[in-house]
Structure 1
Amino acid sequence: MRNLLFAERERLGGKLSEVALRIESYGVSHKGCVRLVNEDRFLIEPQSGLWLVADGMGGHAAGEAASSSIVEHLATIGVASSAPDLRARFEDRLSRAHDEIRKLSQARGATIGSTIAALLAIEGRFACLWSGDSRVYLIRDGAISQLSRDHTEVQELLDRGVLSAAEARTWPRRNVITRAVGVTEEIVMDFRQGETLPGDIFVLGTDGLTTHVADAEIEAAVISAAPEDACGHLLDTALSRGGTDNVTIVVVRFTGAGQAPSTHPGGNGS
Protein backbone atom coordinates (compact mmCIF):
# COMPACT_ATOMS: atom_id res chain seq x y z
CA MET A 1 0.00 0.00 0.00
CA ARG A 2 1.33 3.42 -0.91
CA ASN A 3 1.95 5.45 2.23
CA LEU A 4 4.18 8.30 1.06
CA LEU A 5 2.49 11.60 0.21
CA PHE A 6 4.24 14.66 -1.21
CA ALA A 7 2.97 18.23 -1.03
CA GLU A 8 4.94 20.24 -3.55
CA ARG A 9 6.02 23.65 -2.28
CA GLU A 10 7.39 25.15 -5.47
CA ARG A 11 8.69 24.21 -8.88
CA LEU A 12 11.98 25.76 -9.83
CA GLY A 13 12.25 26.40 -13.57
CA GLY A 14 15.15 26.11 -15.99
CA LYS A 15 16.19 23.63 -18.63
CA LEU A 16 18.45 20.71 -17.84
CA SER A 17 22.10 21.56 -17.44
CA GLU A 18 24.37 20.34 -20.21
CA VAL A 19 27.45 20.53 -17.96
CA ALA A 20 28.55 17.30 -16.29
CA LEU A 21 29.04 18.42 -12.71
CA ARG A 22 31.32 16.80 -10.19
CA ILE A 23 30.44 16.63 -6.52
CA GLU A 24 32.32 17.19 -3.28
CA SER A 25 30.51 16.18 -0.10
CA TYR A 26 31.19 15.64 3.57
CA GLY A 27 29.20 15.07 6.75
CA VAL A 28 29.65 15.21 10.52
CA SER A 29 27.49 14.29 13.49
CA HIS A 30 28.01 14.95 17.21
CA LYS A 31 25.93 14.37 20.34
CA GLY A 32 26.46 17.99 21.43
CA CYS A 33 27.34 19.27 24.87
CA VAL A 34 24.18 18.30 26.76
CA ARG A 35 22.65 15.11 25.36
CA LEU A 36 24.03 11.74 26.45
CA VAL A 37 23.14 9.96 23.19
CA ASN A 38 23.38 11.02 19.56
CA GLU A 39 20.00 10.31 17.94
CA ASP A 40 20.99 12.04 14.69
CA ARG A 41 22.17 10.15 11.63
CA PHE A 42 23.31 11.11 8.14
CA LEU A 43 23.89 9.38 4.83
CA ILE A 44 26.18 10.27 1.93
CA GLU A 45 25.72 8.23 -1.25
CA PRO A 46 27.21 10.35 -4.09
CA GLN A 47 27.16 7.49 -6.59
CA SER A 48 23.41 7.20 -6.01
CA GLY A 49 22.82 10.94 -5.90
CA LEU A 50 21.50 10.92 -2.33
CA TRP A 51 22.41 12.85 0.80
CA LEU A 52 20.33 13.12 3.97
CA VAL A 53 20.21 13.98 7.64
CA ALA A 54 17.75 12.50 10.15
CA ASP A 55 16.95 13.54 13.73
CA GLY A 56 15.32 10.82 15.83
CA MET A 57 12.73 11.41 18.53
CA GLY A 58 11.20 9.20 21.19
CA GLY A 59 13.75 8.86 23.98
CA HIS A 60 15.19 5.70 25.54
CA ALA A 61 17.22 4.96 22.38
CA ALA A 62 14.02 4.94 20.30
CA GLY A 63 14.95 8.10 18.45
CA GLU A 64 18.30 6.57 17.58
CA ALA A 65 16.49 3.48 16.25
CA ALA A 66 14.19 5.63 14.09
CA SER A 67 16.92 7.70 12.44
CA SER A 68 19.07 4.60 12.01
CA SER A 69 16.21 2.79 10.27
CA ILE A 70 15.92 5.62 7.73
CA VAL A 71 19.65 5.56 6.99
CA GLU A 72 19.88 1.78 6.82
CA HIS A 73 16.98 1.44 4.38
CA LEU A 74 18.05 4.33 2.15
CA ALA A 75 21.64 3.08 2.06
CA THR A 76 20.32 0.29 -0.19
CA ILE A 77 19.01 2.73 -2.82
CA GLY A 78 21.59 1.73 -5.44
CA VAL A 79 22.22 3.51 -8.74
CA ALA A 80 19.11 4.76 -10.52
CA SER A 81 18.63 4.80 -14.28
CA SER A 82 16.74 8.11 -14.33
CA ALA A 83 15.28 10.83 -12.14
CA PRO A 84 11.89 9.07 -11.84
CA ASP A 85 13.69 5.85 -10.93
CA LEU A 86 15.70 7.62 -8.23
CA ARG A 87 12.53 9.16 -6.82
CA ALA A 88 10.76 5.77 -6.84
CA ARG A 89 13.69 4.10 -5.07
CA PHE A 90 13.73 6.85 -2.47
CA GLU A 91 9.99 6.52 -1.81
CA ASP A 92 10.23 2.73 -1.55
CA ARG A 93 13.09 2.72 0.97
CA LEU A 94 11.61 5.51 3.07
CA SER A 95 8.25 3.73 3.17
CA ARG A 96 9.98 0.60 4.46
CA ALA A 97 11.69 2.61 7.19
CA HIS A 98 8.39 4.28 8.07
CA ASP A 99 6.69 0.92 8.48
CA GLU A 100 9.55 -0.40 10.61
CA ILE A 101 9.45 2.64 12.90
CA ARG A 102 5.67 2.34 13.33
CA LYS A 103 6.02 -1.31 14.32
CA LEU A 104 8.63 -0.30 16.89
CA SER A 105 6.29 2.40 18.20
CA GLN A 106 3.47 -0.12 18.61
CA ALA A 107 5.76 -2.62 20.33
CA ARG A 108 6.96 -0.01 22.83
CA GLY A 109 3.65 1.77 23.26
CA ALA A 110 5.28 5.13 22.60
CA THR A 111 5.48 7.74 19.87
CA ILE A 112 8.70 7.25 17.94
CA GLY A 113 9.80 9.02 14.78
CA SER A 114 12.47 10.94 12.94
CA THR A 115 12.78 14.06 10.89
CA ILE A 116 14.43 13.79 7.49
CA ALA A 117 15.94 16.30 5.10
CA ALA A 118 17.21 14.78 1.87
CA LEU A 119 18.84 15.91 -1.35
CA LEU A 120 18.47 13.90 -4.56
CA ALA A 121 20.57 14.84 -7.60
CA ILE A 122 20.65 13.24 -11.06
CA GLU A 123 20.73 14.31 -14.72
CA GLY A 124 21.47 17.95 -13.94
CA ARG A 125 18.50 18.29 -11.59
CA PHE A 126 17.96 18.23 -7.85
CA ALA A 127 15.06 17.65 -5.50
CA CYS A 128 15.10 18.37 -1.79
CA LEU A 129 12.54 16.57 0.37
CA TRP A 130 11.83 16.99 4.04
CA SER A 131 9.59 16.14 6.96
CA GLY A 132 10.12 17.92 10.27
CA ASP A 133 12.53 20.71 11.17
CA SER A 134 15.79 19.47 9.69
CA ARG A 135 16.69 21.88 6.91
CA VAL A 136 18.08 22.14 3.39
CA TYR A 137 19.86 25.31 2.27
CA LEU A 138 21.15 26.31 -1.16
CA ILE A 139 24.02 28.74 -1.59
CA ARG A 140 24.05 30.05 -5.15
CA ASP A 141 25.68 33.17 -6.64
CA GLY A 142 26.87 34.23 -3.20
CA ALA A 143 23.44 34.12 -1.54
CA ILE A 144 21.88 31.59 0.80
CA SER A 145 18.25 30.48 0.63
CA GLN A 146 16.39 28.01 2.83
CA LEU A 147 14.74 25.55 0.46
CA SER A 148 12.90 23.64 3.17
CA ARG A 149 10.27 25.11 5.45
CA ASP A 150 10.08 23.88 9.03
CA HIS A 151 7.21 21.61 9.97
CA THR A 152 6.87 23.07 13.46
CA GLU A 153 4.23 24.62 15.64
CA VAL A 154 6.10 27.91 15.73
CA GLN A 155 6.37 28.05 11.92
CA GLU A 156 2.61 27.59 11.63
CA LEU A 157 2.09 30.47 14.07
CA LEU A 158 4.48 32.61 12.04
CA ASP A 159 2.63 31.76 8.83
CA ARG A 160 -0.69 32.75 10.40
CA GLY A 161 0.72 36.04 11.68
CA VAL A 162 0.18 35.07 15.31
CA LEU A 163 3.86 35.49 16.16
CA SER A 164 6.50 37.91 14.92
CA ALA A 165 9.98 36.67 13.98
CA ALA A 166 11.34 38.14 17.22
CA GLU A 167 8.65 36.43 19.30
CA ALA A 168 9.26 33.12 17.53
CA ARG A 169 12.90 33.08 18.62
CA THR A 170 11.87 32.84 22.29
CA TRP A 171 8.61 30.91 21.90
CA PRO A 172 8.63 28.16 24.59
CA ARG A 173 7.34 25.47 22.19
CA ARG A 174 9.53 26.46 19.25
CA ASN A 175 10.91 22.92 18.88
CA VAL A 176 7.54 21.13 18.69
CA ILE A 177 7.45 19.48 15.26
CA THR A 178 4.26 18.77 13.33
CA ARG A 179 5.57 16.12 10.92
CA ALA A 180 8.01 13.23 11.21
CA VAL A 181 8.59 9.85 9.61
CA GLY A 182 6.96 7.04 11.58
CA VAL A 183 4.54 9.18 13.58
CA THR A 184 1.40 9.21 11.42
CA GLU A 185 -0.17 6.51 9.26
CA GLU A 186 1.15 8.10 6.08
CA ILE A 187 4.34 10.03 5.46
CA VAL A 188 3.70 13.58 4.32
CA MET A 189 6.70 15.41 2.89
CA ASP A 190 7.25 18.68 1.10
CA PHE A 191 9.70 19.03 -1.75
CA ARG A 192 11.30 21.50 -4.08
CA GLN A 193 13.21 20.82 -7.25
CA GLY A 194 15.35 22.62 -9.77
CA GLU A 195 18.46 22.62 -11.92
CA THR A 196 21.94 22.06 -10.46
CA LEU A 197 24.51 24.64 -11.53
CA PRO A 198 28.31 24.82 -11.18
CA GLY A 199 29.15 26.33 -7.81
CA ASP A 200 25.91 25.31 -6.10
CA ILE A 201 26.39 24.37 -2.45
CA PHE A 202 23.73 22.53 -0.47
CA VAL A 203 23.79 22.37 3.32
CA LEU A 204 21.65 19.84 5.18
CA GLY A 205 21.41 20.25 8.94
CA THR A 206 19.44 19.13 11.96
CA ASP A 207 18.06 21.69 14.39
CA GLY A 208 21.11 21.27 16.59
CA LEU A 209 22.92 23.33 13.96
CA THR A 210 20.27 25.92 13.15
CA THR A 211 19.43 26.61 16.80
CA HIS A 212 22.91 28.03 17.30
CA VAL A 213 24.11 29.17 13.86
CA ALA A 214 22.39 31.83 11.76
CA ASP A 215 21.80 31.47 8.02
CA ALA A 216 24.36 34.17 7.20
CA GLU A 217 26.97 32.33 9.27
CA ILE A 218 26.24 29.09 7.44
CA GLU A 219 26.74 30.88 4.14
CA ALA A 220 30.03 32.43 5.26
CA ALA A 221 31.33 29.06 6.48
CA VAL A 222 30.69 27.14 3.26
CA ILE A 223 31.03 29.64 0.44
CA SER A 224 34.81 29.39 0.00
CA ALA A 225 35.73 26.34 2.07
CA ALA A 226 35.99 22.66 1.21
CA PRO A 227 33.01 20.68 2.53
CA GLU A 228 35.13 18.99 5.21
CA ASP A 229 36.45 22.30 6.52
CA ALA A 230 32.99 23.89 6.36
CA CYS A 231 31.44 21.04 8.37
CA GLY A 232 34.18 21.28 10.99
CA HIS A 233 33.76 25.03 11.36
CA LEU A 234 29.97 24.85 11.65
CA LEU A 235 30.15 22.03 14.18
CA ASP A 236 32.72 23.91 16.30
CA THR A 237 30.51 27.01 16.22
CA ALA A 238 27.40 25.13 17.38
CA LEU A 239 29.32 23.41 20.18
CA SER A 240 30.97 26.64 21.32
CA ARG A 241 27.50 28.18 21.75
CA GLY A 242 26.22 25.46 24.04
CA GLY A 243 25.53 22.49 21.76
CA THR A 244 22.15 21.97 23.41
CA ASP A 245 21.13 19.24 20.98
CA ASN A 246 22.71 16.68 18.68
CA VAL A 247 24.36 18.42 15.71
CA THR A 248 24.52 16.95 12.21
CA ILE A 249 25.70 18.67 9.04
CA VAL A 250 26.16 17.54 5.44
CA VAL A 251 27.68 19.88 2.84
CA VAL A 252 27.42 19.10 -0.89
CA ARG A 253 29.24 21.23 -3.48
CA PHE A 254 28.66 20.93 -7.23
CA THR A 255 31.81 21.83 -9.13
CA GLY A 256 32.72 22.23 -12.79
CA ALA A 257 33.58 19.20 -14.90
CA GLY A 258 37.28 19.98 -14.86
CA GLN A 259 37.60 19.97 -11.09
CA ALA A 260 38.36 16.84 -9.12
CA PRO A 261 35.58 15.54 -6.84
CA SER A 262 35.95 14.75 -3.17
CA THR A 263 33.21 12.61 -1.64
CA HIS A 264 34.03 11.82 1.97
CA PRO A 265 31.69 10.03 4.33
CA GLY A 266 32.70 12.37 7.13
CA GLY A 267 32.78 11.72 10.84
CA ASN A 268 30.20 10.54 13.36
CA GLY A 269 31.16 12.26 16.59
CA SER A 270 30.35 10.97 20.03
Structure 2
Amino acid sequence: MDSHMLALEGLACMVTPTFTFESWAVSHPGRVRASNEDRYLMEPEAGLWLVADGMGGHQSGEVASASIVDELATLGIPSTASDQHARFVDRLNRANQSILAYAADHGGGVVGSTVAALLVFADQYRCLWMGDSRIYRLRDGVLAQLSRDHSEVEELVASGVLSRAEAQSWNGRNVITRAVGVGTALDLDAAYGILAGGDVYILCSDGLTAHCSDEDIRDAILAEGAERSVEVLLDLTLSRGATDNVTVVVVACRDGSAGTVQE
Protein backbone atom coordinates (compact mmCIF):
# COMPACT_ATOMS: atom_id res chain seq x y z
CA MET A 1 0.00 0.00 0.00
CA ASP A 2 1.33 3.44 -0.92
CA SER A 3 2.66 5.38 2.08
CA HIS A 4 0.79 8.56 1.05
CA MET A 5 -2.67 7.00 1.31
CA LEU A 6 -4.98 9.43 3.09
CA ALA A 7 -7.63 7.03 4.32
CA LEU A 8 -8.37 3.32 4.58
CA GLU A 9 -11.40 2.40 6.61
CA GLY A 10 -13.27 -0.77 7.50
CA LEU A 11 -15.22 -2.58 8.80
CA ALA A 12 -18.50 -0.73 8.84
CA CYS A 13 -21.28 -3.21 9.58
CA MET A 14 -25.02 -3.44 9.39
CA VAL A 15 -27.38 -6.33 10.15
CA THR A 16 -30.97 -6.61 8.90
CA PRO A 17 -33.35 -9.55 9.39
CA THR A 18 -32.30 -10.78 5.94
CA PHE A 19 -28.78 -9.55 5.29
CA THR A 20 -25.51 -8.56 6.90
CA PHE A 21 -23.38 -5.84 5.29
CA GLU A 22 -19.66 -5.23 5.57
CA SER A 23 -17.97 -2.26 3.92
CA TRP A 24 -14.52 -0.84 3.34
CA ALA A 25 -13.25 2.38 1.81
CA VAL A 26 -10.03 3.93 0.61
CA SER A 27 -9.26 7.47 -0.59
CA HIS A 28 -6.03 8.92 -1.99
CA PRO A 29 -5.01 12.21 -3.65
CA GLY A 30 -3.30 10.34 -6.49
CA ARG A 31 0.08 11.00 -8.10
CA VAL A 32 -0.62 14.45 -9.57
CA ARG A 33 -3.08 16.42 -7.42
CA ALA A 34 -1.76 18.27 -4.36
CA SER A 35 -4.95 17.74 -2.34
CA ASN A 36 -7.81 15.28 -2.18
CA GLU A 37 -11.23 16.75 -3.07
CA ASP A 38 -12.94 13.35 -2.88
CA ARG A 39 -14.97 12.43 0.17
CA TYR A 40 -16.87 9.30 1.13
CA LEU A 41 -19.40 8.33 3.77
CA MET A 42 -20.27 4.99 5.34
CA GLU A 43 -23.36 5.12 7.57
CA PRO A 44 -24.34 1.45 7.88
CA GLU A 45 -26.96 2.00 10.58
CA ALA A 46 -28.74 4.38 8.19
CA GLY A 47 -28.20 2.02 5.24
CA LEU A 48 -26.16 4.63 3.36
CA TRP A 49 -22.84 4.65 1.54
CA LEU A 50 -21.67 7.38 -0.84
CA VAL A 51 -18.79 8.90 -2.76
CA ALA A 52 -18.53 12.62 -3.63
CA ASP A 53 -15.94 14.05 -6.03
CA GLY A 54 -15.58 17.82 -5.63
CA MET A 55 -14.69 20.34 -8.32
CA GLY A 56 -13.76 24.01 -8.23
CA GLY A 57 -10.65 26.17 -8.14
CA HIS A 58 -8.54 26.85 -5.05
CA GLN A 59 -9.66 23.66 -3.27
CA SER A 60 -13.32 24.70 -3.41
CA GLY A 61 -14.13 21.18 -4.56
CA GLU A 62 -13.33 19.78 -1.16
CA VAL A 63 -15.78 22.27 0.38
CA ALA A 64 -18.51 20.95 -1.92
CA SER A 65 -17.84 17.26 -1.32
CA ALA A 66 -17.44 17.82 2.43
CA SER A 67 -20.78 19.66 2.52
CA ILE A 68 -22.50 16.63 0.99
CA VAL A 69 -20.89 14.25 3.46
CA ASP A 70 -21.64 16.49 6.44
CA GLU A 71 -25.32 16.83 5.54
CA LEU A 72 -25.87 13.16 4.69
CA ALA A 73 -24.18 12.08 7.91
CA THR A 74 -27.33 13.38 9.68
CA LEU A 75 -29.65 11.01 7.78
CA GLY A 76 -30.61 9.03 10.87
CA ILE A 77 -32.47 5.73 11.04
CA PRO A 78 -35.27 5.60 8.43
CA SER A 79 -38.63 3.94 9.02
CA THR A 80 -39.27 2.91 5.40
CA ALA A 81 -37.44 2.93 2.08
CA SER A 82 -39.51 5.95 1.03
CA ASP A 83 -38.61 7.76 4.25
CA GLN A 84 -34.95 6.98 3.63
CA HIS A 85 -35.17 8.36 0.09
CA ALA A 86 -36.93 11.51 1.27
CA ARG A 87 -34.35 12.11 3.99
CA PHE A 88 -31.55 11.67 1.46
CA VAL A 89 -33.03 14.20 -0.96
CA ASP A 90 -33.69 16.65 1.87
CA ARG A 91 -30.08 16.50 3.08
CA LEU A 92 -28.70 16.72 -0.43
CA ASN A 93 -30.83 19.80 -1.08
CA ARG A 94 -29.36 21.39 2.03
CA ALA A 95 -25.85 20.63 0.74
CA ASN A 96 -26.77 22.06 -2.65
CA GLN A 97 -27.92 25.33 -1.12
CA SER A 98 -24.83 25.49 1.08
CA ILE A 99 -22.51 25.01 -1.92
CA LEU A 100 -24.37 27.67 -3.93
CA ALA A 101 -24.03 30.12 -1.04
CA TYR A 102 -20.32 29.35 -0.71
CA ALA A 103 -19.76 29.94 -4.44
CA ALA A 104 -21.66 33.26 -4.29
CA ASP A 105 -19.50 34.37 -1.36
CA HIS A 106 -16.29 33.45 -3.20
CA GLY A 107 -16.61 35.21 -6.52
CA GLY A 108 -19.45 33.29 -8.10
CA GLY A 109 -17.31 30.64 -9.82
CA VAL A 110 -18.42 27.07 -10.42
CA VAL A 111 -18.16 24.97 -7.30
CA GLY A 112 -19.78 21.55 -7.15
CA SER A 113 -19.47 17.86 -6.56
CA THR A 114 -20.63 14.58 -7.99
CA VAL A 115 -22.49 12.21 -5.71
CA ALA A 116 -23.00 8.46 -6.03
CA ALA A 117 -24.96 6.84 -3.22
CA LEU A 118 -26.16 3.38 -2.28
CA LEU A 119 -29.19 3.19 0.01
CA VAL A 120 -30.30 -0.11 1.57
CA PHE A 121 -33.52 -0.79 3.43
CA ALA A 122 -34.72 -4.33 4.26
CA ASP A 123 -34.25 -6.30 1.03
CA GLN A 124 -34.21 -3.27 -1.29
CA TYR A 125 -31.41 -1.14 -2.69
CA ARG A 126 -31.52 2.28 -4.34
CA CYS A 127 -28.75 3.95 -6.28
CA LEU A 128 -28.88 7.74 -6.54
CA TRP A 129 -26.33 9.81 -8.42
CA MET A 130 -25.35 13.01 -10.18
CA GLY A 131 -22.16 13.28 -12.23
CA ASP A 132 -19.67 10.62 -13.27
CA SER A 133 -18.87 8.90 -9.99
CA ARG A 134 -20.11 5.36 -10.46
CA ILE A 135 -21.99 2.55 -8.75
CA TYR A 136 -21.39 -1.06 -9.76
CA ARG A 137 -22.79 -4.39 -8.59
CA LEU A 138 -20.99 -7.71 -8.76
CA ARG A 139 -23.52 -10.58 -8.68
CA ASP A 140 -22.74 -14.20 -9.54
CA GLY A 141 -19.43 -13.16 -11.05
CA VAL A 142 -20.98 -10.58 -13.39
CA LEU A 143 -20.16 -6.89 -12.94
CA ALA A 144 -22.88 -4.41 -13.94
CA GLN A 145 -22.70 -0.62 -13.88
CA LEU A 146 -25.90 0.49 -12.14
CA SER A 147 -25.32 4.21 -12.64
CA ARG A 148 -24.95 6.02 -15.97
CA ASP A 149 -22.39 8.80 -16.23
CA HIS A 150 -23.72 12.33 -16.53
CA SER A 151 -20.98 13.45 -18.89
CA GLU A 152 -20.56 14.87 -22.37
CA VAL A 153 -18.77 11.76 -23.58
CA GLU A 154 -21.59 9.49 -22.35
CA GLU A 155 -24.12 11.64 -24.22
CA LEU A 156 -22.04 11.35 -27.39
CA VAL A 157 -21.88 7.56 -27.01
CA ALA A 158 -25.62 7.37 -26.36
CA SER A 159 -26.32 9.45 -29.50
CA GLY A 160 -24.02 7.33 -31.63
CA VAL A 161 -21.48 10.07 -32.32
CA LEU A 162 -18.72 8.13 -30.54
CA SER A 163 -18.20 4.41 -30.09
CA ARG A 164 -17.42 3.10 -26.63
CA ALA A 165 -13.83 2.46 -27.75
CA GLU A 166 -13.46 6.00 -29.15
CA ALA A 167 -14.81 7.45 -25.93
CA GLN A 168 -11.85 6.04 -23.98
CA SER A 169 -9.44 8.45 -25.67
CA TRP A 170 -11.76 11.40 -26.34
CA ASN A 171 -10.23 14.57 -24.92
CA GLY A 172 -13.46 15.82 -23.33
CA ARG A 173 -14.25 12.70 -21.36
CA ASN A 174 -13.99 14.47 -17.97
CA VAL A 175 -16.66 17.11 -18.69
CA ILE A 176 -19.71 16.34 -16.56
CA THR A 177 -23.25 17.55 -17.25
CA ARG A 178 -24.76 17.31 -13.76
CA ALA A 179 -23.40 18.05 -10.29
CA VAL A 180 -24.55 19.10 -6.86
CA GLY A 181 -24.03 22.83 -6.30
CA VAL A 182 -24.24 24.10 -9.88
CA GLY A 183 -27.99 24.79 -10.01
CA THR A 184 -30.87 25.57 -7.69
CA ALA A 185 -32.63 22.25 -8.35
CA LEU A 186 -31.20 18.74 -8.04
CA ASP A 187 -31.41 16.44 -11.04
CA LEU A 188 -30.80 13.02 -9.53
CA ASP A 189 -30.97 9.75 -11.41
CA ALA A 190 -32.01 6.56 -9.64
CA ALA A 191 -31.91 2.80 -10.04
CA TYR A 192 -33.78 0.35 -7.83
CA GLY A 193 -33.65 -3.36 -7.16
CA ILE A 194 -33.78 -6.29 -4.76
CA LEU A 195 -30.70 -7.35 -2.83
CA ALA A 196 -29.25 -10.84 -3.02
CA GLY A 197 -26.83 -12.52 -0.66
CA GLY A 198 -23.37 -12.42 -2.16
CA ASP A 199 -23.86 -9.09 -3.91
CA VAL A 200 -20.92 -6.70 -3.82
CA TYR A 201 -21.53 -3.00 -4.53
CA ILE A 202 -18.70 -0.72 -5.61
CA LEU A 203 -18.88 3.08 -5.45
CA CYS A 204 -16.01 5.08 -6.89
CA SER A 205 -14.86 8.44 -8.18
CA ASP A 206 -13.68 8.75 -11.77
CA GLY A 207 -10.10 8.73 -10.54
CA LEU A 208 -10.48 4.96 -10.39
CA THR A 209 -12.29 4.38 -13.68
CA ALA A 210 -9.86 6.61 -15.60
CA HIS A 211 -7.22 3.92 -15.02
CA CYS A 212 -9.09 0.71 -14.18
CA SER A 213 -11.52 -1.08 -16.49
CA ASP A 214 -14.67 -2.87 -15.44
CA GLU A 215 -12.72 -6.10 -15.86
CA ASP A 216 -10.05 -4.84 -13.46
CA ILE A 217 -12.70 -4.08 -10.84
CA ARG A 218 -14.39 -7.46 -11.26
CA ASP A 219 -11.12 -9.39 -11.20
CA ALA A 220 -9.86 -7.61 -8.08
CA ILE A 221 -12.97 -8.59 -6.12
CA LEU A 222 -13.14 -12.14 -7.41
CA ALA A 223 -9.43 -12.77 -6.86
CA GLU A 224 -8.84 -10.87 -3.63
CA GLY A 225 -12.25 -10.62 -1.94
CA ALA A 226 -14.25 -7.52 -1.14
CA GLU A 227 -12.14 -6.28 1.78
CA ARG A 228 -8.75 -6.63 0.08
CA SER A 229 -10.05 -5.29 -3.26
CA VAL A 230 -10.06 -1.64 -2.15
CA GLU A 231 -6.29 -1.75 -1.57
CA VAL A 232 -5.66 -3.74 -4.75
CA LEU A 233 -7.62 -1.28 -6.88
CA LEU A 234 -5.88 1.71 -5.31
CA ASP A 235 -2.45 0.17 -5.87
CA LEU A 236 -3.35 -0.62 -9.48
CA THR A 237 -4.50 2.97 -10.05
CA LEU A 238 -1.34 4.39 -8.50
CA SER A 239 0.81 2.10 -10.65
CA ARG A 240 -0.90 3.53 -13.76
CA GLY A 241 -0.28 7.17 -12.90
CA ALA A 242 -3.30 8.15 -10.76
CA THR A 243 -3.83 11.49 -12.48
CA ASP A 244 -6.77 12.38 -10.22
CA ASN A 245 -7.97 11.77 -6.68
CA VAL A 246 -9.23 8.21 -6.29
CA THR A 247 -11.85 6.89 -3.87
CA VAL A 248 -13.38 3.41 -3.65
CA VAL A 249 -16.11 2.13 -1.33
CA VAL A 250 -16.95 -1.59 -1.41
CA VAL A 251 -20.08 -2.97 0.28
CA ALA A 252 -20.55 -6.73 0.64
CA CYS A 253 -24.05 -8.13 1.19
CA ARG A 254 -24.16 -11.45 3.05
CA ASP A 255 -27.06 -13.67 3.95
CA GLY A 256 -28.29 -12.72 7.41
CA SER A 257 -27.77 -16.23 8.63
CA ALA A 258 -24.01 -15.74 8.20
CA GLY A 259 -23.77 -14.57 11.79
CA THR A 260 -22.53 -11.52 13.65
CA VAL A 261 -19.92 -9.36 11.99
CA GLN A 262 -17.02 -7.98 13.99
CA GLU A 263 -16.84 -4.20 14.31
> Same fold, TM exceeding 0.5?
yes
C-alpha distance 261-69 of structure 1, shift in aligned 2 (>3 A)? farther
Alignment-derived partner of residue 100 in structure 1: 98
Q: 1:28 aligns with which of 10, 26, 29?
A: 26
Is 1:155 matched up with 2:154? yes
Alignment-derived partner of residue 88 in structure 1: 86
How many percent of aligned residue pairs carry the same amino acid? 51
1:115-264 aligned within 5 A: 115-223=114-222, 225-260=224-259, 262=261
Q: Tell me, what secondary structure is at the counterpart of 2:247?
A: strand
What is the Cα deviation at residue 88 of structure 1? 1.0
Q: Which sits farther off after the overlay, 228-237 or 46-55?
A: 228-237
CA distance, structure 2, for counterparts of residue 197 and residue 166 of structure 1: 32
Amino acid paired to 2:104:
Q
CA distance, structure 2, for counterparts of residue 143 and residue 135 of structure 1: 16
Offset from partner CA, 1:95-120 (integer Å, 9 cap, x none): 10000000011111211000000000
Alignment-derived partner of residue 12 in structure 1: none
RMSD (Å), alpha carbons: 1.4
Amino acid paired to 1:244:
T
CA distance, structure 2, for counterparts of residue 261 and residue 251 of structure 1: 19
Amino acid paired to 1:241:
R
CA distance, structure 1, for counterparts of residue 171 and residue 90 of structure 2: 37
CA distance, structure 1, for counterparts of residue 262 and residue 236 of structure 2: 23
CA distance, structure 2, for counterparts of residue 93 and residue 188 of structure 1: 14
C-alpha distance 92-21 of structure 1, shift in aligned 2 (>3 A)? same
What is the Cα deviation at residue 220 of structure 1? 1.2
Q: Tell me, what secondary structure is at the counterpart of 1:47?
A: helix
Q: Tell me, what secondary structure is at the counterpart of 2:96?
A: helix
8 Å contact 1:25–1:262 — kept in the other structure? no
Which one scores higher on RCO, CA 8 angstroms, separation ≥ 6? 1
What is the Cα deviation at residue 19 of structure 1? 6.4
Q: Tell me, what secondary structure is at the counterpart of 2:175?
A: coil
Q: What's the TM-score once normalised by structure 2's chain length?
A: 0.91
8 Å contact 1:132–1:180 — kept in the other structure? yes
Q: 2:52 aligns with which of 46, 51, 54?
A: 54
What is the Cα deviation at residue 223 of structure 1? 2.9
Is 1:41 matched up with 2:55? no
What is the Cα deviation at residue 82 of structure 1? 1.0
CA distance, structure 2, for counterparts of residue 217 and residue 174 of structure 1: 20
CA distance, structure 2, for counterparts of residue 75 and residue 259 of structure 1: 28
Q: Tell me, what secondary structure is at the counterpart of 1:187?
A: coil
What is the Cα deviation at residue 262 of structure 1? 4.9
Extract unaligned runs of 5+ from structure 2.
1-15
C-alpha distance 261-241 of structure 1, shift in aligned 2 (>3 A)? farther
8 Å contact 1:130–1:148 — kept in the other structure? yes
Q: What's the TM-score once normalised by structure 1's chain length?
A: 0.89
8 Å contact 2:17–2:122 — kept in the other structure? no
What is the Cα deviation at residue 228 of structure 1? 2.8
What is the Cα deviation at residue 170 of structure 1? 1.0
CA distance, structure 1, for counterparts of residue 260 and residue 207 of structure 2: 28
Q: Report runs of 4+ in structure 1 exceeding 4 Å deviation.
A: 260-264
CA distance, structure 1, for counterparts of residue 122 and residue 261 of structure 2: 19
